[in-house]
Structure 1
Amino acid sequence: MEQIRIVRVAQGKNSTLSHLYIGGLFVCYLLEDSIRTEKIPGRTCIPEGEFGLSLNAWAGMNAKYISKYPKLHEGMVEITEIPNYQLVFIHIGNYHTDTAGCPLTGSYWQLIDGDYRVLHSAAAYKYVYPLLVKEIERGNDRVVVCNQCSTSESPSLR
C-alpha cells in the first residue's frame, strides 16, 4: 500500500506548515496549529504518530461540504484514533485561526508576521480529496504524522 504521510516542515509563532504525501508523492500543503507538548483545545496540532483515516458522513461539517461540492463529497476525511482529539478533518481554510486542530489544505503558502498561511485552499482540497477517498476505499486507511521526518522513514525508526 502507498503510505499516506503528513510531514511537518516549518513552525510559525502559532502555526505549523506541513506537506501531505501519498505514496511518497507530494500532493498539497497542510496548515495546522502550533506543535505544543501540552494539548490546548483548539490551539494545538495533532501529535506525531500513526492514526486511522475514515469518511465521516454524520458530523455537522458534512452539510456545508455536500452543498458546496455535491459531485465530490462522500463524507469528511477524518483522522481517527488520536488521543484526546475527536472530529479531526482535513478541510479548507487559510489561517491557523480557521482550524481547531484540523489540517487545512493549501496549494501555496506564505509567511506573514511570523505565521504561515496557505492559499488556494479550495483548489488543493478538490485535488487531494478524491485521492484520499480512493485510498480509504481501497483499504489504505492509515496516516503517519511526523515532525520533520523523511517521506520514506518508518515511524518505528524514530
Structure 2
Amino acid sequence: MKTKIIRVAQGKQSTLSHLYIDDIFQCYLLEDKIRAAKIPKQTAIPIGDYTLRLNTWGGMNAEYRQKFPNVHKGMIEINGLPNFSYVYIHIGNTYRQTAGCPLCGFGFELVDGDFQIVRSKDAYQMIYPKLLEIAQSKENQISIENNFQF
C-alpha cells in the first residue's frame, strides 16, 4: 500500500496535512511548524521517504492500551527520521500536543492563526487498523511532501 502525508497549509506554529492510503484521503494530520533548524518537540517532520513500524516499547503504549483496549497493538511509529525519535501518529487537537508527532483528526479549524483538528479519537480509531496492517507488512513505506494550497 502507498501511504503519503501531504502538507497543505501552514499556521503560525502549526502545519495541516492530509493522510492518504492508496491515493484515498483518510484524515487530516496536524504537526508543528516547519523549521529550517530543528527545535526538539516543536518541529515538523522533514519531507522524505520513511517507514512505518509498530513500537511496543515506547512510553505511550500503556496509555493507549487503556484508551483503545480492543485495537491497540503498539504505537504506529514513523521510523528512519533524521534527528527525530519516537514519532507516533496519535490523538490530540493542537500543535501544543504534537511533541513533534502528527496528530490525526476528521476536521480542522483555524484559531488565532493556527490550525486545530477535531474528532481526533474517531480518526485514530478509523486509521489505526489500516496503519497497523501497513506497519506489519513489507510495503511499510510512507512519504511526506509539501503541497501548500492555502
Give TM-score scaled by structure 1 length: 0.92
Q: Which residue of 1 aligns with 2:110?
A: 111
Give the SS at the match of 2:145: strand
Amino acid at match of 2:100: G
Instruction: Give the RMSD, CA atoms, in angstroms.
Output: 0.9
CA distance in 2, matches of 1:45, 1:10: 13
2-structure distance, mates of 1:63, 1:132: 19
- Displacement of 1:137 in angstroms is 2.3
User: In the alignment, which residue of structure 2 is the partner of 1:46?
Assistant: 45
Q: Does 131-140 or 17-26 show the bigger shift? A: 131-140
Shift of 1:145: 0.3
Residue identity in the other structure for 1:127: M
Where 1:126 maps in the other structure, the secondary structure is helix
1:140 counterpart = 2:150 = no
State whether residues 54 and 136 of structure 2, in contact with CA within 8 Å, keep that contact through their aligned partners in structure 1. no
Rounded to whole Å, the distance in 1 between the matches of 2:139 and 2:119 is: 27
What residue ranges of structure 2 are gaps of 5+ in the alignment? none
Deviations for 1:83-107, whole angstroms, at most 9, x for unmatched residues?
0000000000000000111000000
**Alignment length (residue pairs):** 148
Give the Å deviation of 1:134. 1.3
- Give the SS at the match of 1:91: coil
Deviates more, 1:10-19 or 1:126-135: 126-135
Q: Report which stretch shifted further, 129-138 or 119-128.
A: 129-138
Is the CA contact 2:52–2:134 (under 8 Å) kept in the aligned structure 1? no
**What letter matches 1:94 in structure 2?**
N
Identity %: 49
- Residue aligning to 2:55: 56
1:92 partner SS: coil
C-alpha deviation, 1:136, in angstroms: 2.1
C-alpha distance in structure 1 between counterparts of 2:120 and 2:14, whole Å: 16
Structure 2 distance, partners of 1:59, 1:135, is 19
- Over 3 Å off, 4+ runs: none
DSSP-derived class of the 2:19 partner: strand
Cα pair 2:49 2:142 within 8 Å, conserved: yes
Residues 5, 144 of structure 2: 8 Å contact kept: yes
